[in-house]
Amino acid sequence: MKKREILFRGWNEKNKKWLYGYYLVNRGEHFISPDEFVNPLASYEDYVVDADSVGQYTGLKDAKGVKIFEGDVIVDESYPYIIQYHEEYSQFVAVPKPDVTIAFYQQWVNERGLVVIGNVYEDKELEED
């Protein structure tokens, strides 16, 4: 069986950057722990992330090879799509507008030339369109 890459990202407000790695919740705080700690002298605040910003890697890449995460906004010539996890279907879906979901798979991304243009955490206006 081919193993898929399990990866999360979250926004670290202290350092104003995205962190990528394992997602942990401990005592009510949310953390992203990288595969390897880059700085052994870093404080725990360097790994704290905003819980609302956490998104899982979908396992897919856009037309430019950029990894697509839950919460990303991807676009083609006609629509922006918000990437969300659909509990009922147990899969990631592309949502062009409320109450509409589209199955989300690599061939569809490639055929439509979809690219990541932002995410709903940093670009709140993308979610409102």
pLDDT for 41 equals: 64
Assigned CATH topology for domain 59-128: SH3 type barrels. (2.30.30)
CB 102, CB 91: distance < 8 Å: no
Residue ranges, CATH 2.30.30.290, the chain: 59-128
pTM above 0.85, yes or no: yes
d(C-alpha 62, C-alpha 87), whole Å = 23
Higher pLDDT, 83 or 36: 83
Whether residue 127 is predicted with pLDDT greater than 90 in this model: the reply is no
- Determine which of 28-32, 33-37, 62-66, 79-83 has the lowest per-residue pLDDT on average: 33-37
Q: What is the DSSP letter of 48?
A: B
- What pLDDT band is residue 99 in, cutting at 50, 70 and 90? confident
